[in-house]
Structure 1
Amino acid sequence: MVNSIGALDALSAYGRARGVADGVAGNAAPSSVGDIPASSGFGDLVAGAVSQVGGALSKAESASLAQVAGKGDLIDVATAIGAAETALDTMVAVRDRVVNAYNDIMRMQI
Structure 2
Amino acid sequence: MIDSIKSINGLLSGSALTGVETGSANSVSAAAAQGTGSQVSFAQIMGDMASDMANTVKLGEAKSFEAIQGKASTREVVDAVMNAEQTLQTAIAIRDKVVTAYLEIARMQI
TM-score after normalising by structure 2: 0.65
| 1:108 aligns to 2:103 (yes or no) | no
* Structure number with higher relative contact order (C-alpha < 8 Å, ≥ 6 residues apart): 1
TM-score after normalising by structure 1: 0.65
The aligned residue for residue 54 of structure 2 is 54
1:50 is displaced (CA, Å) by 0.7
Cα 1:49–1:68, aligned 2, differ >3 Å: closer, same or farther? same
Q: CA RMSD in A?
A: 2.3
Larger Rg: 2
- Which AA in structure 2 matches 1:96? D
Structure 1 residue ranges (4+ consecutive) displaced by more than 3 angstroms after TM superposition: 35-38
Alignment partners' CA distance in 1, 2:74 and 2:97: 35
- Which AA in structure 2 matches 1:104? E
Point out where structure 2 has 5 or more consecutive residues left out of the alignment: 1-28
The aligned residue for residue 42 of structure 1 is 42
Instruction: Give the total of aligned pairs.
Output: 79
The aligned residue for residue 77 of structure 2 is 77
1:37 is displaced (CA, Å) by 5.7
- Which AA in structure 2 matches 1:91? A
Point out where structure 1 has 5 or more consecutive residues left out of the alignment: 1-28
Alignment partners' CA distance in 2, 1:36 and 1:80: 33
| Percent identity for Structure 1 against Structure 2 | 31
The aligned residue for residue 91 of structure 1 is 91
Cα 1:61–1:36, aligned 2, differ >3 Å: closer, same or farther? farther
Alignment partners' CA distance in 2, 1:107 and 1:75: 48
Post-superposition Cα deviations, 1:17-71, rounded to whole Å, max 9, x if no partner, equal xxxxxxxxxxxx8xx9xx6964321111111111111111111111111111111
